Amino acid sequence: MKLENIRIVMIGTTHPGNVGAAARAMHNMCISRLTLVDPQCPIGDVAYARASGANVILDNRETHADLGAAIADCSRVIATTARRRSLPWPELDPREMAESLFALDDDRQVALVFGREHSGLSNDELQMCHQMVCIPTNPGFSSLNVASAIQVMCYEIFRYQAEPYELPAPEGPDLPASSAEVEGYIEHLRQTLDGCGFLNPQQPEMIMQRLRRIYMRNELTRSEIHILRGILSSFARQQG
Amino acid sequence: MKLENIRIVMIGTTHPGNVGAAARAMHNMCISRLTLVDPQCPIGDVAYARASGANVILDNRETHADLGAAIADCSRVIATTARRRSLPWPELDPREMAESLFALDDDRQVALVFGREHSGLSNDELQMCHQMVCIPTNPGFSSLNVASAIQVMCYEIFRYQAEPYELPAPEGPDLPASSAEVEGYIEHLRQTLDGCGFLNPQQPEMIMQRLRRIYMRNELTRSEIHILRGILSSFARQQG
């Protein structure tokens, strides 16, 4: 599956702001093809303002009179709804949907279909879909804004294709301190605390073990050790 | 972790529609506590219209003058940003964030912090956070609408608690320190270092930011704060 083969289909949208917000959400997640079916509002300034720079998505949008025309070349059509229907229907959550998409061949055309703001998808439209996705929600307040639903779906798709999603370790040039460097700091700390009477001579280890735990679990870097030892030296000069 | 202990903090919001959309997104995902910091717009008809029935979230919102006050009782503060900062910082994706939240004890107070529409979080605000979450995005168009970012984060949290897959390791009996307690220690440290001439009067913040990062990423407990402040007091007595 390639992201460019995935289209977002919005049916009967009544609020241009939602179309703009959907364009932004799509562009954030590298999904570029927006298809409007029977839109009930103009796509003008309000939509472009909410798109917040994702103009290319709105400029290249397609418009069709009905869902059948919008998905004619698609071999996987997925409806999104917060409601569970009484009909038995293959039902996925957004993560499973993303997984299932990327199991498809590269040349498949896929549509994610989103219904009207107030009435969702008609039964005829639902019948054209192969799968239904439910975004898990508060049972007492289950209706997501349509652009928010598009955001969640596109996020799951983008996140999945970015997998294996390994965040590069946010390492600066600063190297992790070695054990010996950490021990050197802890010994320096012990001597300093001993010198100023902070440690109980009978049980110096109790406090030292607590302090060791603070600094050990921290994975200090070399430059941090340098700062911390600098502080100790600065105290020593004061005392001297 | 209980959902009612998670608050959404929006800083310096300029568009009431975004506050309303955030309230709807939160209510969809059973997150109920909305905290505004220094809002730059009235919360009126526009916000309520976009909330689309999630009035209870807006009605019960809290407002604070600055981030410190908004998170004073929190022991886990998480910043959301699309940008990677050059500084090394513990960085999670939204799913890892959700996992890490539910590894916390039930009574922890948690804040998810979202920055201004145009300028995000200031460095000072970022310094108050323990973790940073990046929503994976199109590198060429990475800025999510703030309510969309809240939607994605709340979705991951709700989804996780709806289907916990792993039991977290239990934590020790020692309570995590609140933000106010950690700030108290850092201020105490600053005064002590200032008193002994360790800080460069021209650039005191450079070192303080490094030290802050050491202690913030550590999730200090209350008793550890007690020990660390005891050390500072002990130094002060020596100098006195």
CB contact (8 A) between residue A143 and residue B238: no
Chain A residues touching residue B234 (CB < 8 angstroms): 193, 196-198
Both B7 and B60 in one domain: the answer is: yes
Minimal CA separation from A143 to chain B, in Å: 7
The two structure tokens encoding residue A30: 């590298």
Bridge partners, residue A35, by sequence: A9, A62
Would you list the DSSP string of A52-76? TT-HHHHHT-EEESSHHHHTTT-SE
DSSP A83: S
Q: What is the pLDDT of residues B83-106, one digit of tens each?
A: 555 555 667 889 999 999 988 888
CB contact (8 A) between residue A152 and residue B155: yes
Residues 63-102 of B with CB under 8 A from A: 84, 86-93, 95
pTM comes to: 0.75
CB contact (8 A) between residue B53 and residue A193: no
Both A82 and A117 in one domain: the answer is: yes
Would you list the DSSP string of B16-29? HHHHHHHHHHHHHT
Domain with B232 in it? 179-239
Minimal CA separation from A32 to chain B, in Å: 11
Q: How far apart are CA A228 and CA A183, in angstroms?
A: 13
CB contact (8 A) between residue B211 and residue A227: yes
ipTM score assigned to the predicted complex: 0.72
Both A158 and A189 in one domain: the answer is: no
Q: How far apart are CA B141 and CA A28, in angstroms?
A: 5
DSSP A175: P
Q: Which of A46, A151, A161 to mutate to probe the B interface, most B CBs <10 Å? A: A151
Would you give per-residue pLDDT tens digits along chain A (240 residues)? 889 999 999 999 999 999 999 999 999 999 999 999 999 999 999 999 999 999 999 999 999 999 999 998 888 889 998 655 555 566 788 999 999 898 888 888 899 999 998 888 988 888 888 888 999 999 889 999 999 999 999 999 999 887 644 434 444 567 777 777 888 898 999 988 888 888 888 888 888 888 888 887 777 888 888 889 988 888 877 765
- Residue A40's CB is within 10 A of a number of other CB atoms, namely 13
The two structure tokens encoding residue A142: 């289950």
User: CA-based angle A211:A215:A217, to the nearest 5?
Assistant: 115
User: CA-based angle B103:B108:B112, to the nearest 5?
Assistant: 85
**Chain A nearest-CA residue for B22:** A148
Both B89 and B147 in one domain: the answer is: yes
- Residue A203's CB is within 10 A of a number of other CB atoms, namely 9
Both B48 and B96 in one domain: the answer is: yes
Minimal CA separation from A209 to chain B, in Å: 11
In a domain, B75, yes or no: yes
Using the Cβ of A208 and the Cβ atoms of chain B, whether some distance falls under 8 Å is answered with no
CB contact (8 A) between residue B24 and residue A167: no
Half-sphere exposure of B70 (CA within 13 A, CB side): 30
Look at residue A28 and give its three-state secondary structure.
Answer: helix
**Residue B127: CATH number of its domain:** 3.40.1280.10
